Amino acid sequence: MARELPTLPRTAGAGLVDSFGRRITDLRVSLTDRCNFRCVYCIPDEHNDWFARDEILRYEEIEVIVRAAVELGVEKVRLTGGEPLLRRDLPVLVDKLAHIDGLRDFALTTNGYFLRQSAEDLARAGLRRVTLSLDSMRPGKFALMTGRDALARVLDGIDAARAAGLGPLKVNCVVIRGFNDDEIVDFAEFARTHAMAVRFIEFMPLDGRPDWDRQQVVSGAEMLARIRARYELVSLTPTTSSETARRYGFADGAPGEVGFITTITEPFCDGCSRLRLTADGRLRTCLFSTRSHDVKTLVRTGASFDAVKQFLVETVVLSVGGGLLGI
């Protein structure tokens, strides 16, 4: 039996607009909490408390939720995880989502390990873009940071994604002082030589790692200064008002760009346009929020499509943020 829902808030006609007036246009869909890597900043080595298979959203359930979100104004969907390429038959889901009317951008974030074998199938099914995570271009350091000696394989995955037309490609690089901050300029060089966008992400000390400290966060300003000491950069105009990265091109006209995601030193809560769907079917309005809202039960108990839409609206309208404001 579907649960009874309270009356739809009056703002529902405006789509997904939260109590701060922010319009939600981006949905991140986590497909699994599992991963074949153990990045030092993400999954603790000893973690073994994974969701059971039945707890994870099925493809048809994800499709209903994404369809509802798109009808309410979401334009961009990004598949993520954990490692999304660990989900079996992923092109089946990609095909379902790629054909939803109103979806303007459809991307996937991956560690790249399985890209060589899946890039073409994903592109054929309708995936448009891929973002790869790459934190070091030195094999030993890569292995230290990810727990897998797989740099060559990930670089090959980048080539496969490019060949399959899953561009423009982006690379995410989480910078941690004492680990890979000595490679910042190398990554800028990589952006130039590969005509790619490299996004430097400030390391966020998330839960489960009490040993991390703030000194390990390298600010976007410091990264920018280090690159500027080597290359002259020009600021690029944001393509959307909710763009999370400050972007720069090379003044000499070389291809590629660098960007900085400064979640810690300059939080962009004001312009946040994101909603997150966890692998076990919970909606989160903020990455840093401890609150989440169970949409899976609703979908699994046969709620109508309108009831799912209503739940999304309520979740967003009634959310009070909190996130970074609370830490």
Measured over the CA atoms of residue 153, residue 169, residue 205 and residue 178, the dihedral's sign is positive
With respect to ligand SAM, which residue has the nearer C-beta, 278 or 310?
A: 278
Binding at 43: pick from ligand SF4, ligand SAM, none (beta carbon under 5-8 Å per type): ligand SF4
With respect to ligand SF4, which residue has the nearer C-beta, 135 or 189?
A: 135
Burial bucket for residue 152 (CB in 10 Å: 0-12, 13-18, 19+): exposed
Amino acid at 302: G
Binding to ligand SAM by residue 35, rule CB under 6 A? Answer: yes
Binding at 118: pick from ligand SAM, ligand SF4, none (beta carbon under 5-8 Å per type): none
With respect to ligand SF4, which residue has the nearer C-beta, 36 or 292?
A: 36
Shortest approach of ligand SF4 to residue 268 CB, angstroms?
20
Cβ pair 103, 97 in contact under 8 A: yes
SS3 at position 259: strand
Binding to ligand SAM by residue 106, rule CB under 6 A? Answer: no
Residues numbered 151 to 180 that lie near ligand SAM (CB under 6 A) are: 172, 174
Shortest approach of ligand SAM to residue 298 CB, angstroms?
25
Binding at 206: pick from ligand SAM, ligand SF4, none (beta carbon under 5-8 Å per type): ligand SAM
Binding to ligand SAM by residue 111, rule CB under 6 A? Answer: yes
With respect to ligand SAM, which residue has the nearer C-beta, 2 or 107?
A: 107
How far apart, in Å, are the Cα atoms of 290 and each of 34, 116, 286, 297, 323?
20, 36, 8, 19, 8
Phi, then psi, of 152 in degrees rounded to 5: -60, -40
Shortest approach of ligand SAM to residue 164 CB, angstroms?
17
Q: What is the dihedral of CA 70, 72, 76, 80, to 10 degrees?
A: -80
Residues numbered 182 to 201 that lie near ligand SAM (CB under 6 A) are: 201
Tokens at 38, concatenated: 């153990």
Binding to ligand SAM by residue 218, rule CB under 6 A? Answer: no
What number of other Cβ atoms are within 10 A of residue 84's Cβ?
Answer: 25
Cβ pair 15, 22 in contact under 8 A: no
What number of other Cβ atoms are within 10 A of residue 47's Cβ?
Answer: 12
Binding to ligand SAM by residue 242, rule CB under 6 A? Answer: no
Binding residues vs ligand SAM (CB under 6 A): 35, 41-42, 80-81, 83, 109-111, 133, 172, 174, 201, 203-204, 206
